Amino acid sequence: MKTTEQQQALKQQQQSRSSFKQKAQDNSIRKARTRTLIQLGGLIERVGLTKLFNIELGEDLQLDLAATRKAAVLVGALHELQRLLVTNNFDAKVEEWRKIGFQLLEKKQDAK
């Protein structure tokens, strides 16, 4: 009997460890995703799209109806940009955009 109970306890410990490792991995993935999304938001702000679409930093883009409307315009514009890029030889422009992007990033770093 004891061996069966010990085996069950050991099995539960292994399952618990496995569950803990999976949760830690899921948490790590979630944190990495969140970090990337925050960085993307920073890029949108950096190139002036928040000003262009009259989005004030700190506005709640989900709960504030006026801010949600501004966000909807931005999302629509980004969707249109994505559609245009897919249909107009996106790959041919990548290197040009990379150069421009690095120049803008360096310019912002120098300004700090």
Summarize pLDDT for 64-101 with one digit per residue, the tens. Answer: 999 999 999 999 999 999 998 888 888 888 899 999 99
User: Residue 1 pLDDT > 50, yes or no?
Assistant: no
The domain limits of the chain are 1-46, 56-112
CB 14 within 8 A of CB 8: no
Task: Label residue 5 by pLDDT band (50, 70, 90).
Answer: confident
Structure pTM? 0.68
User: Residue 6 pLDDT > 90, yes or no?
Assistant: no
- Name the percent of the chain lying above pLDDT 70: 97
Secondary structure, 3-state, the chain: CHHHHHHHHHHHHHHHHHHHHHHHHHHHHHHHHHHHHHHHHHHHHHCCHHHHCCCCCCCCCCCCHHHHHHHHHHHHHHHHHHHHHHHCCHHHHHHHHHHHHHHHHHHHHHHC
